[in-house]
Amino acid sequence: MRLRRTLFASFAIVATALAANAQEVTVKVGTVRSISTATILWGVEKGYFKEHGIKVVTENLDTAANSIALLAQNQLQLVEGGISAGYFNALEKNLPVTMVLDRVSSPLGHNLMLRPDLKGQITRLRQLKGKTIATNGQGAVSTYEVGKLLESDGLTLDDVEIKVIPFTQYAVAFNNRAIDAAITIPPFTAQLLDGGHAVNFKDPDDVVKPYPLTIAVSMINTDFASANQDLMRNYYLAYLRAIRDYCQAYHGGSVRAAFIELAIRSGTETRPELLHKYPWPARSPNGEINIASMLDMQAWFHRSKMSNAEFPADRVVDKSYVDYALRKLHPFVLENKESTLAGCR
């Protein structure tokens, strides 16, 4: 009799597990490879999403600027990447997309880097006139950063040649002298520096205003979100838990070693020494987008004729999902009180 009860109990446990797996809803997330991407993978590994019946599948993107169509068509339910002109054009066409939460905010860890042989020859931004500068996408947030940097010293994009190259090909382009400068993000900034392919020149955080910059976000397909509102609320609840773990790791907390191990194992970064040596991009532990920064990007893209209209903040960003998550979570408390790093607070 006891054996029978044990068997029934075992079968019940297995049946419950199978039912839970059967009920999992797959959410496809397109991401531009960055240290921040490890946050989603962390949430998957920790089971934060699974607790809510969500199976997250990530797909790598060269640039979020080219992925808005995939998001609007629901081929991807979420996209994580830079704020692009394509996003604002999608709003003008009433496509079902909206921003939800911050992915990367100052300090960014970005840099406008130079070919090593130009170090000392080019000492200010106006000397880039006539030079070739790489970004990772036409109308991408990197183009905004380059444009704002140039404008701070009297130039515009028309004064340089912009060449669109994937981040992964920057080293080859520098080595072949196909470019003179490039705007970079972690982990590529550190890889280029340590490999001797490029040298740091200008940090957008030191020049571009309004500050802090929110340059990358999480965006959703609003049709999918409306049809799966509880699911998407719980997605961002789970995700914000993972973001807070990222922020603890960013500040040298107890999960830092495990976060680095995951970044290496997942191929987000291949050299752990870079993650120990260089700062990571910051993000808000409360998912907050700096609205002033975002609106400046919208205005700049419109002014540069890369987008066709401007919209009020409440049309551009849907804060309801983050607000829901924050009501469910305790206030963020930094574990490592001795950290002096800015950002992720």
Residue 33 pLDDT class (50, 70, 90 cuts): confident
| Residue ranges per structural domain of the chain | 24-105+213-328, 111-207
Over 50: is that where the pLDDT of 17 sits?
A: no
Same fold, 24-105+213-328 and 111-207: yes
Q: For every residue of the chain, which 3-state class applies, written as one string?
A: CHHHHHHHHHHHHHHHHHHHHHCCEEEEEEEECCHHHHHHHHHHHCCCCHHHCEEEEEEEECCHHHCHHHHHCCCCCEEEEECCHHHHHHHHCCCCEEEEEEEEECCCCCEEEECHHHECCECCHHHHCCCEEEECCCCCHHHHHHHHHHHCCCCCHHHCEEEECCHHHHHHHHHCCCCCEEEECCCHHHHHHHCCCCEEEECHHHHCCCCCCEEEEEEEEHHHHHHCHHHHHHHHHHHHHHHHHHHHHHCCCCCHHHHHHHHHHCCCCCCHHHHHHCCCCECCCCCCCCHHHHHHHHHHHHHCCCCCCCCCHHHHECCHHHHHHHHHCCCCCCCCCCCCCCCCC
Provide the pLDDT for residue 22: 55
Least confident of 57-71, 74-88, 329-343: 57-71
Residue 86 pLDDT class (50, 70, 90 cuts): very high
Domain 111-207 belongs to what topology? D-Maltodextrin-Binding Protein; domain 2 (3.40.190)
Question: pTM, whole model, 2 decimals?
Answer: 0.88
* Class of 24-105+213-328 in CATH: alpha beta
